[in-house]
Amino acid sequence: MIAWTIYLTLAGAVLLLLLPCRFARWIALLTTIAGLALGLIALVRTPIADLAHFTTIVRVPWVLALGMNYHLAIDGVSLTMVLVTGISAVSSVLFSWDVEHRQNEFFFWLLLVVAGCYGVFLSADLFLFFAFYELVIVPKYFLIAVFGSTNKEYGAMKLTLYSFFGGMLVFVGVLTAYVTAGTLDLNQLSQFQFSPQLQAWALPVLFLGFAVLAGIWPLHTWAPTGHVAAPTAGSMLLAGIVMKLGSYAGLRVAMNLFPQGFQMWSKWIVLLAVVGIVYAAAVALRQRDLKFVIGYSSVSHMGFVLLGLAATTGLSVSGAVLQMFSHGVIAALLFAVAGRMIYRRTHTRELDVLAGMDLSDALPFAAFTFIIAAAASMGIPGFSGFAAEITILIGAWKTYPFAVWVTGAGMVLVAAFTLRALKQSFFGEKERGVHLQEGRVPLDPDWNEQQNITAPEKCGACLLMLATLAVGLYPKVLLDRIMPAVEAMRFLK
């Protein structure tokens, strides 16, 4: 039944093209809610034992001549990712409730991204997987280039080309695996013994291709520019789930297919991950644009995922998967506050300017949300960020203790830039020049905006906060499903 997440989302996208625009947002909302509901039902109903292996849901012959099947499967890792996709999708629709311009098209591209992500997380056929993976690239371009803000055409093109470049590397790896093993079935491929020589070169190509999307350090620059240029829903989806496509694929495909190659290269990946964590946090500390701060924080947090994967212990990889979930929710929340709640009302994201407004008075709900998001992002116990990052660090301690030391130091930087952003955006000192009416935000009179946080925004924010709190307080609900699935994977043995 979980396969219907893909079908419903695609059906919603097609419907959007056919129906007039006054239905657009409702169609989008209903389809994304349906996706989330299906994910939750699967979470409750599927027995945990079934989630320990990549269990087939659908398997239909597709192109017989090439051995392609339409093959979907699920395990604990996929389920976690499906859940975070559903949550981010619903909240991103809620946070784009007042898109006026070319509504149908906007939600069409948005749903296409969501459907592609569901597809990637559920496919068990390498070709199908790759098709969904590439499907996500172009809708992002249109979302950003048509509906974005600051420097949108540049940001959109840069992001698309980076993703497509990664996609080309992946293409090489996928072809090599397919031609060598003669099958496209991921379960069969993960049993196949590739020669060590092949693994030694194919793994870095494949993993790097995926890691571009996950924002690995020297190839991360698309992420901040893209996030800044994107419309709010776009940034939420990008940081929330699209970046996870890269890390999920690295785990599901690269590490499972070429375990020996991964062993050879893991220390280099750890190096890049740690550099990424520290470097991006340091850069975030110096940004003036709130969205840039959050963009770099995404890169930093994704560094944790890569570290968890590269440490290759059961605990660290499970932590990485949990971090994918956690960061998906938190990043969406941060971008929602910065791009939507603040920017729509002040038309600026400059921290220096925001500092003069003291927004906590004017937008108390936004301030509250941002505090929660910041706390979760810093890794305060009780939120999902803490549960995930501590799992990663404990898991990685066995294999790369030095990396854990450096990362621990890096976490101070994360706290520093998060607190700085929080203070400047909401708790700055009121400058004398800016006169605010009580409970009002300085507005350009031409922009006839709503002053108060609207109901859809509140719903979206509550959904995200609830998710991070729930997982933070009771991580077992996901970890119980993730850990057996991870431990069944080959690279651990």
Partner 1 sequence: MILTMSYFELLKLASPETIVVITALAVLAIGLVTGHAKSRVTVSTMKSAQNTKDTSFAMGTCSAIAALGLVIAIGTVLMLPRNATLFGGMLVITPLTSLFKIICIALAFFTVLLTTSEKEPRHPGEYLALVLFATVGLMLLVGSEELLMIFIGLELLGLSLYVMTAFDKTDVRSAEAGLKYLLFGSTSSAFTFFGISLIYGMTGTTGLAGISQKLGAASVQPLLAVGIVMTLIGFAFKIAAAPFHLWAPDAYQGGPVPSAAFIASASKVASFVVLGKIVLVGFAPLHGNAAWHAMVAGWSPMLAALAALSILVGNLVALAQSNVRRLLAYSAVAHSGYTLIGIVAGDRDGLSAALFYATIYAITLVGAFGVVAMVRRETGGDNFSNFRGLVSRSPLIAGCMCVFMLSLAGIPPLAGFFGKFYLFSAALRAGANNGLLWLVAVALLGSFISLYYYLMVLKAIFVDEPAFPPVRHVYVVPSDLLPRTAVVVLAMAVFLLGVAPEILAAPILAAVP
Interacting residue ranges for partner 1, rule: CB under 8 A: 17, 62-66, 105, 127, 130-132, 134-135, 137-138, 141-142, 145-146, 153, 157, 160-161, 164-165, 168, 171-172, 175-176, 178-180
- Please state the closest distance from residue 34 (CB atom) to partner 1, in A: 22
The span from the first CA to the last CA of the chain, in angstroms, equals 32
Give, for 98, the enclosing helix (H) or strand (E): none
By C-beta, is 180 or 188 nearer to partner 1?
180
- Please state the closest distance from residue 222 (CB atom) to partner 1, in A: 14
- Please state the closest distance from residue 146 (CB atom) to partner 1, in A: 5
* Cα-based angle 129, 189, 218 (whole degrees, multiple of 5): 60
Please tell me the distance from the alpha carbon of residue 398 to that of residue 415, in angstroms, as a whole number: 25
* Cα-based angle 170, 174, 180 (whole degrees, multiple of 5): 145
By C-beta, is 132 or 279 nearer to partner 1?
132
CB 32 within 8 A of CB 114: yes
By C-beta, is 156 or 237 nearer to partner 1?
156
- Please state the closest distance from residue 131 (CB atom) to partner 1, in A: 4
- Please state the closest distance from residue 17 (CB atom) to partner 1, in A: 8
By C-beta, is 135 or 416 nearer to partner 1?
135
> 77: which residues sit within 8 A by CB, 6+ positions away?
248, 251, 252, 321, 482, 485, 486
- Please state the closest distance from residue 426 (CB atom) to partner 1, in A: 34
3, HSE (Cβ side, Cα atoms, 13 Å) = 13
Please tell me the distance from the alpha carbon of residue 186 to that of residue 179, in angstroms, as a whole number: 14
By C-beta, is 128 or 478 nearer to partner 1?
128
With 0-12 / 13-18 / 19 or more C-beta atoms within 10 angstroms meaning exposed / middle / buried, residue 248 is buried
By C-beta, is 102 or 458 nearer to partner 1?
102
By C-beta, is 180 or 454 nearer to partner 1?
180
By C-beta, is 228 or 270 nearer to partner 1?
228
Task: Look at residues 265, 254, 257 and name the one whose alpha carbon lies nearest to residue 200.
Answer: 265
- Please state the closest distance from residue 268 (CB atom) to partner 1, in A: 22
Task: Look at residues 168, 167, 174, 113 and name the one whose alpha carbon lies nearest to residue 138.
Answer: 113
- Please state the closest distance from residue 129 (CB atom) to partner 1, in A: 11
What are the angstrom distances between the C-alpha of 183 and each of 41, 64, 173, 489? 32, 11, 14, 19
By C-beta, is 17 or 477 nearer to partner 1?
17
With 0-12 / 13-18 / 19 or more C-beta atoms within 10 angstroms meaning exposed / middle / buried, residue 20 is exposed
Three-class DSSP category at 258: coil
> 141: which residues sit within 8 A by CB, 6+ positions away?
156, 157, 159, 160
- Please state the closest distance from residue 247 (CB atom) to partner 1, in A: 21
CB 474 within 8 A of CB 322: no
CB 194 within 8 A of CB 176: no
The token duo for 28 is 């989008």
- Please state the closest distance from residue 178 (CB atom) to partner 1, in A: 6
By C-beta, is 49 or 66 nearer to partner 1?
66
- Please state the closest distance from residue 82 (CB atom) to partner 1, in A: 20
By C-beta, is 219 or 393 nearer to partner 1?
219
- Please state the closest distance from residue 105 (CB atom) to partner 1, in A: 8
> 6: which residues sit within 8 A by CB, 6+ positions away?
72, 115, 118, 119, 122
Q: What is the DSSP letter of 350?
A: B
Please tell me the distance from the alpha carbon of residue 491 to that of residue 313, in angstroms, as a whole number: 9
By C-beta, is 142 or 400 nearer to partner 1?
142
Other C-beta atoms within 10 Å of 44: how many?
7
CB 463 within 8 A of CB 87: yes
